[in-house]
């Protein structure tokens, strides 16, 4: 296990990136988790006219400027998916597949792409509904597994599961061509309801039904309430004060995940505040 970071930033959209800049300037040891593509939402935006200093630019152009800024500051993004974060009091433990990281403080900047749960999803979480393939794979050895994924990245997990489960059904929720092992049965239909009694036993789709033991739902990000147990949410957003502090000591949040308006410049501003709040917190902890 590696050394403890001062700060871990989860999310590489404008909020996370802005936080990373400030952490770098304040010379804190930090790690930023996300995507080298930064933010799919930003990349797809046609025209953004209210980001100060960038007029008439497309999302892709602004994204490129962000990338250049990061490069100039020598900031690199760690492309690993954080599955859970445990608030241990004076530090946080981040579970990333088989790895574990530690950080004195964290900034949650995961955006609002975590999707609406399917009917039955929350009810069967832990009873057949899974968000982390690597974590729970052994429990599904020789069982039937259905995987619903929102990103082509996840095809690696699908192939991995096909070596463990007795059968894998794959429901891709993205447009790109699907390239997975031959043994995987691809279903082009929309999931509607997750059913079972004590545990999951069936998935109802719009035009069909499948018997299954496990349902792996691989979205871009997990809802913060699931990601960080004990975190106070306000319906779909993380509750923060003006300093971007959450109810958990050392845990801050910024960007779309803390609320409306969903605007890039607001996210960048909040990332800045969250980072500076984290820096004060780190300095205070280090004094003890």
Angle between helices 14-25 and 59-72 (to 10 degrees): 20
* Range in contact with another protein (rule: CB under 8 A) among 32-40, 60-68, 89-97, 200-208: 89-97
**Total binding residues toward another protein, as defined by CB under 8 A:** 14
Tokens of 236: 């779909």
8 Å CB contact between 69 and 77: no
Among 24, 69, 127, 143, binds another protein (CB under 8 A): 127
Residue 103 vs 184, nearer CB to another protein: 103
Residue 87 vs 168, nearer CB to another protein: 87
Among 135, 173, 265, 285, binds another protein (CB under 8 A): 135
Residue 83 vs 272, nearer CB to another protein: 83
Which parts of 228-267 interact with another protein (CB under 8 A)?
229-230, 248
Determine how many CB atoms are found less than 10 A away from the CB of residue 178. 15
* Range in contact with another protein (rule: CB under 8 A) among 74-82, 85-93, 152-160, 271-279: 85-93
89 binds another protein (CB under 8 A): yes
Residue 248 vs 273, nearer CB to another protein: 248
For residue 98, the minimal CB distance to another protein (Å) is 10
> What is the contact surface with another protein in residues (CB under 8 A)?
84, 86-89, 93, 95, 126-127, 135, 198, 229-230, 248
């Amino acid at each position: 296990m590696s050394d403890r970071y001062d700060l871990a930033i989860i999310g590489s959209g404008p909020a996370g990136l802005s936080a990373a800049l400030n952490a770098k300037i304040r010379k804190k040891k930090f790690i930023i988790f996300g995507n080298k593509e930064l933010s799919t939402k930003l990349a797809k935006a046609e025209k953004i006219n209210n980001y100060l200093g960038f007029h008439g630019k497309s999302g892709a152009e602004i994204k490129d400027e962000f990338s250049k800024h990061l490069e100039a500051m020598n900031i690199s993004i760690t492309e690993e998916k954080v599955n859970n974060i445990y608030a241990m009091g004076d530090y946080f433990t981040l579970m990333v597949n088989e790895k574990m990281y530690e950080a004195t403080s964290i900034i949650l900047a995961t955006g609002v792409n975590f999707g609406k749960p399917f009917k039955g999803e929350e009810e069967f979480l832990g009873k057949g509904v899974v968000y982390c393939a690597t974590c729970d794979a052994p429990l599904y050895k020789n069982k039937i597994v259905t995987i619903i994924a929102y990103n082509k990245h996840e095809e690696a997990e699908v192939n991995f599961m096909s070596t463990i489960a007795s059968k894998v059904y794959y429901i891709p929720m993205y447009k790109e061509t699907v390239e997975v092992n031959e043994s995987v049965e691809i279903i082009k239909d929309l999931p509607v309801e997750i059913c079972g009694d004590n545990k999951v036993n069936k998935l109802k789709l719009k035009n069909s039904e499948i018997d299954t033991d496990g349902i792996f739902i691989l979205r871009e990000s997990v809802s913060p309430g699931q990601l960080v147990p004990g975190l106070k949410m306000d319906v779909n957003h993380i509750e923060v004060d003006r300093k971007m502090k959450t109810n958990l000591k050392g845990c801050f949040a910024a960007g779309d995940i803390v609320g409306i308006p969903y605007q890039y410049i607001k996210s960048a501003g909040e990332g800045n505040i969250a980072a500076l709040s984290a820096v004060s917190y780190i300095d205070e902890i280090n004094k003890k």
